[in-house]
Structure 1
Amino acid sequence: MIRTNSAQRRTRTAAGAVGVLIAAAALTACGGSPAHQGAAAVVGGQRITIATVEAKVTALRDEVLAQGGGPRTERAGLTKRTVSDLVLDRVVDQALSDRRLDVTETEVTQARDSDAKLLGGQDELQRELLLKQGVTSGDTDAFYRQQLGIHKLAAAEGKDARTAEGDAVVRGALATAGRELRIVVNPRYGAWDPQQIALVDTAEDWLPQRTAAA
C-alpha cells in the first residue's frame, strides 16, 4: 500500500473498523518559465511555493520539538518529504477527478473522529499523527483526505487498497494522473517520477543558465 510519507515510501490511515490512522502504510519533474520562480514544484500548471513548503516544515519541527521527540527534525529531509506530500495530494485529487470521485468533509470528519475514539481522544490522535506520521495539527484533514482518496481509488475497482491488488490499482491510477499533470519539481528537492510515484534525485537545472556574452 502506498503511504504519502515520502521519506519512508508511505500512504496515509484507512477508515472503518480499523480506522484511517491504524491502517496507514508507508509511501513516500524541470524548466525555466516564470512559473518556476519561487516554486518548489509546478503541478498541472499550479505552483507550490517554496514559502508554503518552508512554513509547513517549520510548523512540523516546532510541533515535534514541543512534544520532545518523534521523527528526525533535520530540515533538508523534512523539506523534501513535504514537497513530495504536497505533490501527491494533487496527484490523488487528479486521479479522483478522472473517475468522478471525491472525498467529502463529512467523510474526513467521520474518519478522524473514528480514529480519535480508538486512540482515546483528539489529543492522542494528533500526537500519534505527529510523532509517527509527521502530520501537524494544521494538516490533519489533508492527511485524511489523501488517505480516503487513495482507498476510494482502489474501491472503485472493487479492491482494498491495503492488499497487493488494491495497491497495484492505486499505483496505476496515480501514475496516470501524475503524467497528466506534467509535474515539475525544483531540482533541489529531486524530480517527480510518475511511475514510482515518488521524488527521485536529479542534477538538472531549475532555471535556464545565462550564457556568457561573446
Structure 2
Amino acid sequence: MHRRRRTALVLSAAIAAAAPLLSACGNDAHPGAAAVVGGHRITVAQLESRVNEVRRAQQAAVPDEAQYQQVLASTSGLTRDTLHNMVLDRVLHRAARDQGVTVSRREIQRMRTGLEQQAGGAKGLETTWLQKYGIAPARLDDNLRLQLEAQKLATRLGTDTTQPAFWKALSTASEELHVDLNPRYGTWDVQKSSRVDAKTPWVREVTASGTQQTA
C-alpha cells in the first residue's frame, strides 16, 4: 500500500465501503476474534457492531432506498477498513504512549470546534466524516483523537506522517503488540502497519442477504 494511502487511513480512517459477508474458517487460535492486539481480542461481534453503526448512519442520511443501495454498491470494503482502523488505533496509541504523547479531551474539542466551523456546523461535520471516511457520528471524537495522536507523534519524532520515521514508530508498536488477524480478514503487515488481503483460496465472499448487512 502506498504510504500516502496509509497516511490517509491514519488521519481520516477508512473510506466508506459496502459490506461483503465473508464465509471462511475462523482462526482456531482465537475463536470469535477478528483480531488480537496486545493480547486483547477485537471480536467479530464488536467489528460487526462498528460496521452496523456506519450502515445505520448512512441509511438515515440517505432515506431513499435506491440511493442507499447505490451507497452499498459503491463502497465494498467497510468491514476490512473498519478492522484496519480498529487495529491501527491501538497500534498508534501504543506508539504514542511509547513516545510520551497524550491527547486531552480539551484538544479533541478544540479540533472539533474548528472543523465544525469549516463544515458549517456539527451536522455538517458529521455528514462529511460519514460520507468521506465512513465514520459514524458516535465515533467522530475517537477519530479526531486518532488524528491528533498521529500529528503529535510525528511532531515528537521531528517528522511528519508521510515520512519513514513516523511509520517506523508504528512498525515498532505493531511488533510489540503482536498483531494477529483472523485469516478471513487478511494479515497484518508489521513493517507497513497495514492490513493486507490474504491470498487464501478457501476464503470466499458472498453477498449478504436482507436489508441489514453486518459484515
TM-score category (smaller protein): 0.7 to 0.9
- The one of the two structures with greater contact order (alpha-carbon pairs below 8 A, sep at least 6) is 2
Give the whole-Å Cα distance in 1 for the aligned partners of 2:100 and 2:169: 13
Distance 1:150 1:3, change over 3 A: farther
Give the whole-Å Cα distance in 2 for the aligned partners of 1:25 and 1:111: 19
Distance 1:168 1:127, change over 3 A: same
Q: Give the drift of 1:116.
A: 0.4
Give the whole-Å Cα distance in 2 for the aligned partners of 1:52 and 1:184: 16
Instruction: Tell me if the contact between 1:96 and 1:102 (Cα under 8 Å) persists in the aligned partners.
Output: yes
Give the whole-Å Cα distance in 1 for the aligned partners of 2:190 and 2:135: 24
Distance 1:4 1:129, change over 3 A: farther
1:42 is paired with a residue whose SS is: strand
TM-score by length of 2: 0.76
Q: Which residue of 1 aligns with 2:48?
A: 54
Q: Which residue of 2 aligns with 1:12?
A: 11
1:192 is paired with a residue whose SS is: strand
After the TM superposition, which residues 69-148 of structure 1 pair with which residues of structure 2 at under 5 Å, given as runs? 72-73=71-72, 77-148=77-148
User: Percent sequence identity over matched residues?
Assistant: 36
Unaligned runs of 5+ in 2: 16-25, 203-215
* Aligned partner (choices 139, 164, 168) of residue 168 of structure 1: 164
Q: Would you tell me which structure has more helix in proportion to its own residues? A: 2
Which amino acid in 2 is paired with 1:84?
H
TM-score by length of 1: 0.76
Give the whole-Å Cα distance in 2 for the aligned partners of 1:91 and 1:11: 10
Q: Are 2:29 and 1:38 aligned?
A: no
Which amino acid in 2 is paired with 1:189?
Y
Give the whole-Å Cα distance in 1 for the aligned partners of 2:34 and 2:6: 17
Which amino acid in 2 is paired with 1:66?
A
Which amino acid in 1 is paired with 2:85?
D
Give the whole-Å Cα distance in 2 for the aligned partners of 1:149 and 1:3: 18
Deviations 1:83-134 (A, max 9, x none): 1010000000100111111111111111111100111110100000000111
Q: Are 2:182 and 1:183 aligned?
A: no
1:10 is paired with a residue whose SS is: helix
Which amino acid in 2 is paired with 1:10?
L
Which amino acid in 2 is paired with 1:119?
A
Q: Give the drift of 1:47.
A: 0.5
Give the whole-Å Cα distance in 2 for the aligned partners of 1:182 and 1:204: 25
Count of paired positions? 183
